[in-house]
Structure formats: C-alpha cells, structure tokens
Chains A and B, each alone.
Chain A
Amino acid sequence: MCSELILELALRRPGFDLAVDHAIALRGVTAVSGPSGSGKTSLLRVIAGLEPGATGHVSAFCEEWQGPKVGLMPAWRRRVGYVFQEAALFDHMNVARNLDYGLERRRAGPSGGAGQRGPERDAIIDTLRLERLLDRMPGRLSGGERQRVALGRCLMSAPRLILLDEPLSAVDHASRSELIPYLQRSLALAGVPAIHVSHSRAELRKMADRVLRMDAGRITASGGSELLLPEGAILLDARVLEVGPEGTRLDIGHLGQRLDLPPGAEFQLMVRRDQVVRISGSEAGVAAAGRIEARVAPPGPDGMPLLEVARQALALPPVAGPQETPAPGEALTLALAGYEVLPPRAAD
C-alpha cells in the first residue's frame, strides 16, 4: 500500500465507463497510452481526486485516498501534482505569482513540514528557464512557455506524485520536441514518481519505465516500453563500447551517430522491420545509419529461418542475399536505414 498506487475504481458517465483494478509502482515514470476517449484523462482525474463521481478504492503512500472508510480525500489534501493539457494558469496573476501559489501552499499542507521539502524555488526557475518570464502575464506567453510555467508551478507545490495529462498536446510540433527535455529535467529535479498520459507513443517512449495501455475505459495491457513500439518494431539490448569520431561502436554493431552516452552505458535500439534494408555476408562500409552483427539461428518451429543478435532471437527472416539459404551459425551484417535510441529496459 505504501510503494504502490492501488486502484480499484469505477466511474460511470453517459456513454462511457471506466473500470480499473490495478496497482501502479510508485517510482519512475509510468506511461499510459491509448486512443482518445479511452479513459486516460479520467483515470488521472480520479487519482488526483478531481472526480467526485468515482466509486471504489484508491490508496497510495500508506494513505487511503478513497474508500468506504475515508470517503473521498479532497484533491487539495493529496499532494498530487497535476499538469493539465491546457496549462490552466491563473490568468489574473503574473508568472511569478503563479509559481508562488504552489510554493506558499506547500508549507501549509496538512501533513506538516518534514515530507514537504521539494526542490528549491531557484532550482525550479533555473531548470525550466523561467527567469525571463517571471513578470509576464499568462496571456502573453506562448504555448510552450505556458506549459513550462505549469510544470514549474506543479514542482513548487512539492508533490509526492506528478500526473502529466498530455502536457504536450496543446503545443505546436516544434515546441513539443523542445519541451520533452524540460519534462525529463523537471521529473529528475522533483525526484518523485510520475504518471504520463498521452496518445502519442513516440512522446511516451522517450521517458517511460513501464507502460499501461488503455482502451474503452479498461487497462488492456501492462508491461515495459515494448508496448509503445510501433507495428513491426524490434528492440535490441545494446551497450556502448566506444564513441569515436566516426560514430558509436556497440557490442552488437556500429552506429553512424555519436551517441551522448559514456562507454559501458546500456540502452535499447529500436528498429522497424522495414528499416533493415540489407543483409549481406561480408559487405562492410555500406552507406547506412548503422550496422548490426547477427548470426543465423536454427529455424523456428514453423520452419522460418531466424536471426540472433547477441543471444536475442529475432523474428527477422533473412532477406534473400548472395546466398539463398544461409546456414545456421553463419555471421551476417544487417544494414539499418534508421533506428531510435531508447532508455534501458526497466527493472520490473
């Protein structure tokens, strides 16, 4: 009950019903993915205490937030930060007063001083680059700036859990990629668990430790970031050996890009089946974004030949090359037309 957010809840509305029975680990980032209208936002609102119509049981941090004994603990007592899709800034206050709104109420929290120590005001302003915005009114901020202020205001209140409700969806495409590092740095600064809701898998992939998939008001799957992969994608565990002038050498191959990772760092390489453009016996120096060393594995149960990359079996039939049917054990080089670098697989 202390290290998990326990949800056994239902919320019924005309044309929609949410029913969730799940425990979410209270550490790292939990991504909630699913189509629009699948109940992702409703789930966050119930967790925050913003849905008085919800029934059932919610508990976290050794406290019961909702249940037959306590009724409904109001949102303002839960110390759960919420970053809204549309920022929801206070339009009658400038940015500094918006930020301080959270800060002032952090001390006034019901559970008193000890647990209320969040990041310093200056650190938050610095991390989110808010110095130059402090005197501005929210009406004069861009979409990206509004979300940075909203994030900062949330951190100021020293929450124990941060709920991110599609924080990037109301922002234009260019600002979106700028905002992602701010999101990551904010969560690192706060040092508290977060639940990140989005319908964009690409957005979630950048910072998910575990994933819940929702559909029609139900949690339909839970697992690691493989749930966020696009159709036909493959994840490969990789380790950096050396970052040199001509790219990054990996234990499983080579990337043309110089990754910003130290030697020994582990990560996952995401490749889509259609990005593996070429397989050849010995052709080195092919113009490609990267190369992977693979080995022909014994054929699968259906008789399809398989490949093996660093002991990971790969459901990737070898494309017709110089040799029609490579023999098991034979080494191959896969040329990659594209790839994506993801954080390593979460421990759970």
Chain B
Amino acid sequence: MGSDPANSAGGWAIDWSPVWLTLHLSALTAVLLLALAVPLAWWLATTRARIRPLIEAVTALPLVLPPTVLGFYLLILFSPDTGLGAAWVRLTGETLTFSFTGLVLASMVYSLPFAVQPLQTAFEAVPRPPLEAAATLGAGPFDRFRTIVLPQSRRGLLTALVLSFAHTVGEFGVVLMVGGNIPGQTRVISIEVYSAVETLDYERAHVLSSGLLVFSFLVLSAVYVLNRRGRRDVF
C-alpha cells in the first residue's frame, strides 16, 4: 500500500502517502525483527560461548553509531556493485538501494538493539527451576521455550515489538542515506517533515509533526496500560 498513488489526494490537499508508508514500514520492520530477534536474544541469554560479548557488542552498535554512519555502510552493502546488493538484483531484478525493501532491511538493522535487549532481559529473568521441572516432565528444548519461556516473557515480547515499531517510526538518518526521498517508496513522515521545513511549508510540517506526536503518545500509553494489566494476570 505504500506505493499506492491513490493515497496522494488527502482531505486538506494533504499527501497521506508518507503516513501510510511510515506505518507500513514500521509494522513490517517490527514483525520481521521480532522473528529474527527472538532466537538471537534466546541464544544470547543462554549461551556460554566465548564470542557472546562480541555478538552482544555488534547487536548494540546501532545504538551508538550515528544513523548517517550506519546508513553509509548499509548503502555500500546494498549497492548493486557489491555482494549482497548484486545478489539481490540478480534474484529480484530490483536494487536494494532507494527501494522499500532496502528500507525494511536497513530499519531492521537500525532497530535491532531495541528488539534484542528487552527480549534478552526478559529471557534472562525466566527462573531456572520451572524450566528444569518442565524438562523432568518430558518437555524438550523447543517445547520448554514455547510453553514456559515465551509466556513468561510476554511483557518483554510486547516491549520489543512496540519499541522497534516506535523506533522505526522515528527513523530519519538511515532512511535518508539508504532510501533517499522517493514519494510512495521511501518518503516517510520524518523525511516529509524535513522537506516541508526546507521548503518553508510550516503548515504541512505542523500537521505531520503533531499527528506523529499524538500517535506516538497514544501507542506508548496503550502499551504501558496493557503491560500493567499483564503483570496483574500473572499473580
């Protein structure tokens, strides 16, 4: 739907496509990232491998690096002249740079720590005795993970999902580097606000900015309310 040109005619002659594109990108990123982060966080929470601190450091890098640096390296990596970018072109006929797919991949890298860290904390907090009890009752590793670890980590899962969604909504530097500013493809709200301000279209900047502000506030409030309720269910 992000590339649907029908969205470009809005109520006050406002172009809604950056809004839909942002939501689409953030939701897709959050879901894909969760699928990737759950096994990674479980491995980090349980492994005794010596390389664990190194993997943890790599996972946390996007927290520290300026988005432009991250975006620059991703741009190089995605470029059709290099391994990954070229393979993608051969496979799909499209380039990763300046495309929605590339933006999803870049967002996943950018928001990785926001998914992995709450999950790892939640997994590490699952007490050992119930897991050992489950094992003596005949539950194998995957069974234990599904029936004990995941339900007892509900709040961590929700936090990871929401934080990676919210963080992707607020993304700017990486999008600019990797995705550019293509309407319906890569022009998300943050980029649109930036170009509105650049062109002195303050009204448009106001509408989008306040909309994003209210939306973010509502989403986060809903999460904290749900989280609170979830906590009471357990006991």
Contact (Cβ within 8 A) B129 A91: no
The answer to whether A215 has its CB under 8 Å from any CB of chain B is no
Contacting residues of chain A (81-102) with chain B, CB-CB under 8 angstroms: 81-82, 84, 86, 88-92, 101-102
Chain A residues with CB under 8 A of B133: 82, 84, 88-90, 150, 153
Say whether A80 faces chain B, with CB atoms less than 8 Å apart.
yes
A81 touches B234 (CB 8 A): no
Q: In the assembled complex, how far is the CB of residue B136 from the closest CB belonging to chain A, in whole angstroms?
A: 4
Please state if B152 and A92 are interface contacts (CB–CB under 8 Å). Answer: yes
Contact A89 B134 (CB under 8 A): no
Q: A84-B129, A90-B130, A90-B148 are in contact. Are A137 and B235 (CB under 8 A)?
A: yes
Inter-chain CA distance A1–B200, complex, in Å, is 86
Say whether A109 contacts B136, CB under 8 Å: no
* Cα–Cα, bound, A80→B138 (Å): 9
B147 within 8 A of A: yes
Docked Cα-Cα span, A92 to B129, in Å, equals: 14
**Any B CB within 8 A of the CB of A195:** no
Provided the pairs A137-B235, A139-B234, A139-B235 are in contact, do residues A105 and B130 lie with their beta carbons within 8 angstroms? no
Verify B132–A88 contact, CB threshold 8 A.
yes
The majority secondary structure among interface residues of chain B is helix
Contacts of B144 in A (CB 8 A): 76
Q: Which residues of B contact A81 (CB under 8 A)?
A: 136-137
As a 0/1 sequence over residues 123 to 153 of chain B, the CB contacts with chain A under 8 angstroms (1 = contact) are 0000001101111111110011001100110
Contact B132 A50 (CB under 8 A): yes
Interface presence of A79 (CB below 8 A): yes
A32 to B143 CA separation, bound complex (whole angstroms): 32
Indicate if A75 sits at the interface (CB-CB under 8 A): yes
Q: Are A102 and B137 in contact (CB under 8 A)?
A: yes
A75 and B234 within 8 A (CB): no
Tell whether A48 is near chain B: CB-to-CB under 8 Å.
yes
- Out of B134, B139, B147, B152, name the residue touching A91 (CB < 8 Å): B152
Inside 8 A of A77's CB, which chain B residues have their CB? 138
Chain B residue nearest in CB terms to A76:
B135
Contact B132 A102 (CB under 8 A): no
Residue among A49, A80, A101, A109 facing the most chain B CB atoms (10 A cut-off): A101
Q: How many residues of A contact B (CB 8 A)?
A: 33
Contacting residues, chain B, for A291 (C-beta < 8 A): none
A108: CB under 8 A from chain B?
Answer: yes
Closest residue of A by beta carbon distance from B131: A88
User: Is A181's beta carbon under 8 Å from chain B?
Assistant: no
User: In B186-232, which residues have CB < 8 Å from any A CB?
Assistant: none
* Neighbour of B137 across the interface among A92, A105, A139, CB < 8 A: A105
- Cα(A131)–Cα(B63), bound, Å: 52
Nearest CB in chain A to that of B148: its residue: A90
Let me know if B136 and A48 touch, CB within 8 A.
yes
In the docked arrangement, what's the CA distance between A108 and B152, Å?
23
Which residues of B are found within 8 Å of A109, using beta-carbon distances?
A: 138
Contacts of A82 in B (CB 8 A): 132-133, 136
CB < 8 Å neighbour of B138 from A86, A89, A102, A137: A102
| Given contact pairs A50-B132, A84-B132, A92 touches B151 in the complex (Cβ within 8 A) | yes
Q: Given the interface contacts A101-B147, A137-B235, A139-B235, does A89 sit within 8 Å of B130 by beta carbon?
A: yes
Q: Using Cβ atoms and an 8 Å threshold, which residues of chain B touch A76?
A: 134-140, 143-144
Cα–Cα, bound, A260→B218 (Å): 70
Chain A residue at smallest Cβ distance from B136: A82
Cβ distance B41 to chain A, nearest Cβ, rounded Å: 19
Q: How far is the CA of A77 from the CA of B143 in the complex (A)?
A: 13
Residue on A nearest B151 in the bound complex, by CB: A92
- Which B residues touch A156, using CB under 8 A? 137
CA distance A91 to B139 in the complex (A): 17
Q: Which residues on the B side are within 8 Å of A37 (C-beta)? A: none
Q: Is B138's CB under 8 angstroms from A106's CB?
A: yes
A105 to chain B, nearest CB (A): 4
Chain A residues whose CB sits within 8 angstroms of the CB of B129 once the complex forms:
84, 86, 88
Check A91–B138 contact: CB distance below 8 A: no
B143 partner residues in chain A, CB cutoff 8 A: 76, 105
How far apart are the CA atoms of A158 and B115 in the complex, in Å? 40
Contact of A79 among B130, B138, B148, B235 (CB under 8 A): B138
The chain B residue with its CB closest to the CB of A45 is B132
Given A92-B152, A101-B137, A153-B137, is A75 in contact with B132 using a C-beta cutoff of 8 Å?
yes
User: What is B's interface to A at a CB cutoff of 8 Å?
Assistant: 129-130, 132-140, 143-144, 147-148, 151-152, 234-235
Top 7 A-B pairs, shortest CB-CB distance? A105-B138, A88-B129, A75-B135, A88-B133, A82-B136, A139-B235, A102-B137
8 pairs, CB–CB < 8 Å, chain A vs chain B: A74-B135, A74-B140, A76-B134, A80-B136, A89-B130, A102-B138, A105-B137, A154-B136
A residues with CB within 8 A of B: 48-50, 74-82, 84, 86, 88-92, 101-102, 105-106, 108-109, 137, 139, 150, 153-154, 156-157, 159
Q: Given known contacts A75-B135, A84-B129, what 11 new A-B pairs fall within 8 Å (CB)?
A: A49-B135, A75-B136, A76-B143, A81-B136, A82-B132, A82-B133, A82-B136, A88-B129, A92-B234, A102-B138, A105-B143
